[in-house]
Amino acid sequence: MATHRTARRRVELILDLTCVHSYLGFHRFQAAVRRYRAAGGEADVEFLPFQVAPDAPAEGVPLTEIHRRDFGDRAGELTAHMAAVGARDGLVLDFGRAVYVNTFEAHRLLAGAAAEGHGEAVAERLFRAYFSEGADLSDPATLARLAAEAGLPATAAPVAAEELRAELARVRGLGTHAVPHFVFDGTTAFTGARSEQVYFSALEAGSGSAR
């Protein structure tokens, strides 16, 4: 039987690429998994797609307009608070530059990248581009550029649209209603952006057996 340090962990990440809580959770999880791997642990990270706003337009709309629509006079206060939270984690969250778009094509790219072993790098690049650089994650040229910057081989292809639609439906069918959602070894689960230490402890605890 493998010990908690020699067992290979399997972690499923359900997230959306324009969800700020998904970005925070992913960033903290990445810090935790780097610590775990540096200490000799092994972890396989799987990305499961979720769309917070599946009806969002393919053409970008300034995110500030959506915030004003949804939060009214509180929009500025709420985004300033989230920007401060991100800053404490070393993240730049520039909501004034962000563009509200449909994430379907970005999820196709991420799924294809994950199949090639580049999921974590591509996810990080997509999140950072969206929240810090105002990138339009529905634009094919932008997605291709970001994929290349993340080290994805030019031969890698996004998954087929029908395949992604089926996977989105499957994930919804699991009862997922909020993201980020992290599942460790098919048992321990966390919804929402938790601390780095919470994720690290989950990796350390494991099940005591290889999967």
The CA distance from 146 to 190, in Å, is 29
Regarding beta strands 188-191 and 181-184, do their DSSP bridges make them parallel or antiparallel, or are they unpaired? antiparallel
For residue 1, name the pLDDT band (cuts at 50, 70, 90): very low
Task: Note the pLDDT of residue 6.
Answer: 58
Asked if pLDDT for residue 66 goes beyond 60, the answer is yes
Regarding beta strands 181-184 and 99-100, do their DSSP bridges make them parallel or antiparallel, or are they unpaired? unpaired
Neighbours of 4 (CB within 10 A): 14
Asked if pLDDT for residue 210 goes beyond 80, the answer is no
Asked if pLDDT for residue 7 goes beyond 90, the answer is no
Asked if pLDDT for residue 209 goes beyond 90, the answer is no
The CA distance from 13 to 3, in Å, is 23
Nearest to 183 by CA among 40, 31, 15, 19: 15
Task: Note the pLDDT of residue 35.
Answer: 96
The CA distance from 199 to 77, in Å, is 29
Q: In angstroms, what CA-CA distances link 205 with 9, 31, 185, 187? A: 10, 17, 10, 11
State mean pLDDT over 17-35: 98
The CA distance from 179 to 202, in Å, is 18
Query: What sign results for the dihedral spanned by CA atoms 211, 199, 54, 128?
Result: negative
What are the structural domain ranges in the chain?
Answer: 8-204
- State the SS3 of 107-176: HHHHHHHHHCCCHHHHHHHHHHHHHHHCCCCCCHHHHHHHHHHCCCCCCCCCCCHHHHHHHHHHHHHCCC
160 contacts 154 by C-beta, under 8 angstroms: no
Q: What phi-psi label fits residue 18: left (phi over 0), alpha (psi between -120 and 50 degrees) or beta? A: alpha
For residue 5, name the pLDDT band (cuts at 50, 70, 90): low
The CA distance from 129 to 126, in Å, is 5
CATH 3.40.30.10 fits 8-204, yes or no: yes
